[in-house]
Structure 1
Amino acid sequence: MLVLLPPSEGKTQPLQGRPLDLARLSGRVLTDARQEVLAALERASAAPDAAATLGVGAAVAAEVARNLTVRTAPAAPAAHVYTGVLYTAAGLGGLRGAAARRAERTVRIFSGLWGVLTPADEVPAYRLSMGVSLPGPGKLSTFWRGRLGGVLDDAAAGDVVVDCRSATYAAAWRPPTGAEHVAVQVVRERDGRRQVVSHNAKHARGVLTHHLLTRAGNAPTTAEELAGAAEELSDDPVAGVHAVELSAPTRGRRTLTLVERA
């Protein structure tokens, strides 16, 4: 099992800890690429048109300013830096023992700045979306697309890939043909009619991630085993999942639909 997560837009700035050390991050073959994007981000964030380049509003000016101190600010495990609905539900920072070890082996967090991280990789807070085009590297999803295969392809081959990413981050890497690629979709059912949800989808994907990491037994290795594990959530009234459906393969990908009842 390989669980793919997007980052959160909001991030918690660590108050203490050693600063960023690119050489200590997982996927060391990405170090030069990370250095290139970081240098481009620093230049863009120092420019008068920084907000426009990064595609953000004036309300997050303080977060853009953090980009100028990425190399010196305290860093902490990504499991604690990334916050928001999905990460609150996934509870990565609170995992212990076997669940924490499973998360480190199987969870990969996509990032416009770092490419991809494990939950234990130590990074500071920053502001940069995968959809941004930086002077130099260009559009980040395209920049990383040619580089992440060397880190992820072997890990995904012959296994099930649980894709909880948004489209922006999914564009940065597609699982190889030897993997069972399963995208997670969330719909809400009311009076027999279904509607795809966005905000609450983050919560449901976080709930699924937490369940896959903490449930007893081996991690799923096929799409069918993944669906079976997800169906266990229907027995938990707190999870809010009414039903689970697994589609037939389409263009090398299947869809796992989590159905919530309004």
Structure 2
Amino acid sequence: MIHIISPAKSLDFETKSQFDILSEGIFRKESEQIMKKLRTQSKKKLKDLMGISDNLAELNYERNQIWEFPTAGNEQAKQAVLAFTGDVYLGMDANSFSKTDLEYAQEHLRILSGLYGLLRPMDLILPYRLEMGTDLKVGTKKNLYDFWGNKITKAINESLKGHQEKVLVNLASNEYFKAVKPKEVEGEIVSPEFKDEKNGKLKIISFYAKRARGMMSNYMIKNKIAQVEDLKGFDYEGYRFSQELSTPNKPVFTRAENWK
């Protein structure tokens, strides 16, 4: 059983990694192809393409010009799971992992990425910004979904081969999961859902749902979860499994408004 999450736009390359486990991404050729195209984009084009400020456009233009595929000898590179710092990663809290946890995560967690395709947690990355939904034409491919095609799905299937339980737990956002071809996944897909009570009604609140997906990843890694049934035990920060709202492929976790 493996689980997938989205990357984050916010990054931390200032804090030095305390772990010496390193690996390199599997899609070097593809990442270099994408970056070759990104390098041709002016600051103005990046601003329009990504809907970002002048400052962010300038920052990412500079990043693109000096980017090279990150390898073990690159001191500027950092392991993906420690470099991303968005809401999902705050929930996951990878800095609290032991070496054993990270070794387990390396086999059971994958991170989707517009630039790198599919990352293991300890794959090295360099600072970048490229969301999967960005309308970037690369070669004859009209956008990144078209560019990645079924490559990401094939890589997921390759990862699943070594697992007894052929299950893909989807903790990614819709934007990123669209880069996976569900019908081609060689296993069952389970997509947990997290709902919070607001004014007496249960709803998915984006900020909380992102953090909850990260917390579920933490729960799976720290508890070495290997069976779908064991996902039901997730109880971080007031969430509880709802038998009533769940289906076999969509376990639902709810949290009361006054959970604290």
Regarding TM over 0.5, the answer is yes
Partner of 1:57: 53
Partner of 1:151: 155
Partner of 1:20: none
**Separation in structure 2 between the aligned mates of residue 15 and residue 100 of structure 1, nearest angstrom:** 18
Q: Share of identical aligned residues, percent?
A: 22
Partner of 2:71: none
What is the letter of the counterpart of residue 5 of structure 1? I
Alignment match of 2:109 (pick from 97, 101, 107): 107
Q: Is the 8 A contact 1:148 1:173 kept in 2?
A: yes
Partner of 1:42: 39
Partner of 1:31: 28
Partner of 1:21: none
1:8 aligns with 2:13: no
What is the letter of the counterpart of residue 144 of structure 2? L
What is the letter of the counterpart of residue 28 of structure 2? T
Q: Is the 8 A contact 2:150 2:181 kept in 1?
A: no
TM-score, normalization by structure 1: 0.81
1:196-215 matches, cutoff 5 A: 196-215=204-223
Q: Is the 8 A contact 2:25 2:116 kept in 1?
A: no
What is the letter of the counterpart of residue 96 of structure 1? S
Alpha-carbon offset, residue 14 of structure 1:
4.6
**Separation in structure 1 between the aligned mates of residue 46 and residue 185 of structure 2, nearest angstrom:** 39
What is the letter of the counterpart of residue 225 of structure 1? D
**Separation in structure 2 between the aligned mates of residue 161 and residue 26 of structure 1, nearest angstrom:** 20
**Separation in structure 1 between the aligned mates of residue 218 and residue 122 of structure 2, nearest angstrom:** 16
Q: Is the 8 A contact 1:185 1:258 kept in 2?
A: yes
Alpha-carbon offset, residue 40 of structure 1:
1.1
Matched position secondary structure for 2:115: coil
- After superposition, the Cα gap between the structure-2 partners of 1:102 and 1:39, relative to the gap in structure 1 and judged at 3 Å, is same
**Separation in structure 1 between the aligned mates of residue 195 and residue 16 of structure 2, nearest angstrom:** 40
**Separation in structure 1 between the aligned mates of residue 78 and residue 114 of structure 2, nearest angstrom:** 18
Matched position secondary structure for 2:238: coil
What is the letter of the counterpart of residue 38 of structure 2? L
1:161 aligns with 2:168: yes
Matched position secondary structure for 1:49: helix
**Separation in structure 2 between the aligned mates of residue 116 and residue 178 of structure 1, nearest angstrom:** 17
- Count of residue correspondences: 239
**Separation in structure 1 between the aligned mates of residue 82 and residue 58 of structure 2, nearest angstrom:** 20
Matched position secondary structure for 1:138: coil
What is the letter of the counterpart of residue 207 of structure 1? M
- After superposition, the Cα gap between the structure-2 partners of 1:180 and 1:260, relative to the gap in structure 1 and judged at 3 Å, is same
Write out per-residue CA displacement over residues 19-64 of structure 1, whole angstroms, 9 at most, x where no aligned residue: xxxxx6232xx222111111112212x3532211223233523442
Matched position secondary structure for 2:226: coil
1:115-154 matches, cutoff 5 A: 115-136=117-138, 137-154=141-158
Q: Is the 8 A contact 1:6 1:166 kept in 2?
A: yes
- Aligned-pair RMSD on alpha carbons? 2.5
Q: Is the 8 A contact 1:186 1:259 kept in 2?
A: yes
Partner of 2:241: 243
Alpha-carbon offset, residue 178 of structure 1:
3.7
Matched position secondary structure for 2:225: coil
**Separation in structure 1 between the aligned mates of residue 222 and residue 240 of structure 2, nearest angstrom:** 20
Of stretches 133-142 and 5-14 in structure 1, the one that deviates more from structure 2 is 133-142
**Separation in structure 2 between the aligned mates of residue 109 and residue 33 of structure 1, nearest angstrom:** 16
- After superposition, the Cα gap between the structure-2 partners of 1:244 and 1:98, relative to the gap in structure 1 and judged at 3 Å, is farther
- After superposition, the Cα gap between the structure-2 partners of 1:10 and 1:154, relative to the gap in structure 1 and judged at 3 Å, is same
- In the alignment, structure 1 segments of 5+ residues that lack a partner are 18-23
Alignment match of 2:179 (pick from 172, 176, 194): 172
Matched position secondary structure for 2:154: helix
